[in-house]
Amino acid sequence: MVCKNCTGMLVLWAFSNGKCEKCGVDVVTSHIPCDKVCDSCSEQYEICKQCGEEKEDESATKLRIERYFNKLRGLLCCNTDEAEAAESGCYLFDESILETEKQYFIDCMYNNLSPYKALLFLTLDK
């Protein structure tokens, strides 16, 4: 199993080897960095074979998405007063952008892009 954070991770294509952090068996991969755990331990313990982190459960994922979207809402001009908007800068989108571009923002979150940068890159793309 590979977690959402490791999916699409940039790697160097070359054979590498290491030891499974759980059982100590040799792990050989076709990329660097080498996986941290073997396939059988990844399935047995429900952890990512690349980073060794536990699988995020559904409620934790929902909470993480909710927090990210709350931060996005705080950066929209429609949710700030004029003085704060002039001082800190904000984005001229209204809240409908959060629904129409929902998958874009979720992808940004999983790629560890800050809400500020996610909105910035969205404005550059439009």
Q: pLDDT for 87-121, tens place per residue?
A: 665 667 778 888 889 999 998 888 888 898 888 88
Q: What is the pLDDT of residues 1-31, one digit of tens each?
A: 788 778 777 888 899 999 999 999 999 999 9
Q: What is the pLDDT of residues 47-101, one digit of tens each?
A: 889 988 887 667 778 888 999 999 988 888 766 666 665 566 566 777 888 888 9
Task: Note the pLDDT of residue 86.
Answer: 56
User: Six-digit token pair at 7?
Assistant: 């999916």
39 pLDDT higher than 70: yes
126 pLDDT higher than 60: no
Q: What residues contact residue 22 under an 8 Å CB cut-off, 6+ apart?
A: 37, 38, 41, 45
Pairing status of strand 16-19 against strand 26-29: antiparallel
Beta carbons of 94 and 40 less than 8 angstroms apart: no
Q: Collapsing DSSP states into helix, strand and coil, what is residue 126?
A: coil
How is the chain split into domains, by residue range? 1-55, 58-125
> Does the pTM of the predicted model rise above 0.85?
no
